[in-house]
Amino acid sequence: MPTYTYQCDNCGEFEISQSMSETPLDACPQCGEAVKRVIAAGGSFIMKGKGSSLNCGQESPCCGRETRCDKPPCGK
């Protein structure tokens, strides 16, 4: 479920988890005043673990084997 940030003139910013199908809040849950939804920058992620193409050419093989392959699937 996504987390949305809202701005209340009285209480400041707050975050709330809502389903994408729910209507946006129009009132602050603490004081009841009108709120605006803040548009935030998109999130990002980092790929970790064995099998990630980011591991190719490093100490561990891309396929996760204990020894290096003659022809790794990534071509490196």
SS3 17: strand
Binned at pLDDT 50, 70 and 90, residue 59 comes out as low
Q: Whole-model pTM?
A: 0.52
Q: What are phi and psi of 53, to 5 degrees?
A: -65, -15
Determine if residue 64 is left, alpha or beta; phi over 0 gives left, psi from -120 to 50 gives alpha, anything else beta: left
Per-residue pLDDT of 24-46, as tens digits, reads 999 999 999 999 999 876 667 77
Main-chain phi, psi angles of 5, to 5 degrees: -105, 135
Whether the Cβ atoms of residue 33 and residue 9 lie closer than 8 Å to each other: yes
Q: In the chain, what percentage of residues exceed pLDDT 70?
A: 58
